[in-house]
Amino acid sequence: MREPSRKPENTNFSPVKLFLDCLRYWVTDYRVDGFRFDLASILGRNEDGSPMSQPPLLQSLAFDPILGNVKLIAEAWNAGGLYQVGSFPSRRRWAEWNGRYRDDMRRFLKGDDGLHETALKRIFGSPDLYNPQYRGGGNASVNFLTCHDGFTLCDLYSYNQKHNEANGWNNTDGCDDNHSWNCGEEGKSRKKKILELRNRQMKNAWCMLLLSAGTPMILAGDEFCNSQLGNNNPYCLDNEISWLDWKGYKSGNSEMFRFVKDLIAFRKKHKILHMGQELSMTDSLSCGFPGISYHSS
């Protein structure tokens, strides 16, 4: 009995080539101007799982003739425990989600002790993490306080603990290390002083984020105080907890919405807030003042 014919194996198949071809297609045909890579540290692991010092895929992305000018943003950690914030193999092309900014500034904003010097570094573009000679200075840091994972900004100042009971895992899923503060009462409150304090804390957070050197990243809905009722992992829900009501800025939160709009306009108006280069304590811009100066002991 004759065996069925088999197609010859494609010995030229390359996962790296497929990866690059897909990105080139999205750039050339769909005019995509940048990519953010989830858990990007996995792209730099060897076959045995060890991190490579010169990952070929990241090199190819950085120097590709088509992809050479698009934005490349890494979430510089992965589920295997490899945390590369400040050390992701960048080739001066990659920016990073600055997880250190998120954690340090959350702690600073809620009043943890001993963080004033660290907070200054984060505000100045994290020069301790992103050496301009190797990383492109402030261009490398994508600053954020909230994202799709974790608390919204409103919940960051409304809850001390996560409340993920609706997810069906007995509140065991989601991150426990949130650096949040409920301002005196867990969850929704009708107390005027608590609501005023929460409002002030959110405005403090907005000012820190939008006046820091680097690229600010905003979670949709934070500008009008969207809440997920303390749920910091609602990906599995299809209800009011995870939905985003785009009319929310009209239902009692229009004042915060205007505040954020004005703050964005202020950032755009003053170039020194978005220079794209590291500032120093000298008059490197020849404007008569140092780029950075300290006015306190």
Active site residues: 38, 75
Helix (H) or strand (E) holding 17: helix 15-30
Tokens linked to 146 = 């909230």
d(CA 144, CA 152): 12
d(CA 160, CA 167): 18
d(CA 259, CA 256): 5
Which ranges in 124-253 belong to alpha helices (H)? 132-135, 153-156, 192-210
Tokens linked to 211 = 């006046």
Beta bridge partners of 141: 96
Yes or no: say if 154 and 202 are a contact pair by the CB < 8 Å rule: yes
Other C-beta atoms closer than 10 Å to the C-beta of 107 total: 17
Yes or no: say if 139 and 95 are a contact pair by the CB < 8 Å rule: yes
Closest CA to 226 of 151, 149, 144: 151
Tokens linked to 96 = 């990073």
d(CA 136, CA 122): 15
Q: How many DSSP H helices and E strands does the chain contain?
A: 8, 5
Tokens 């920016």 identify what position? 95
Tokens linked to 271 = 């170039």
d(CA 144, CA 242): 20
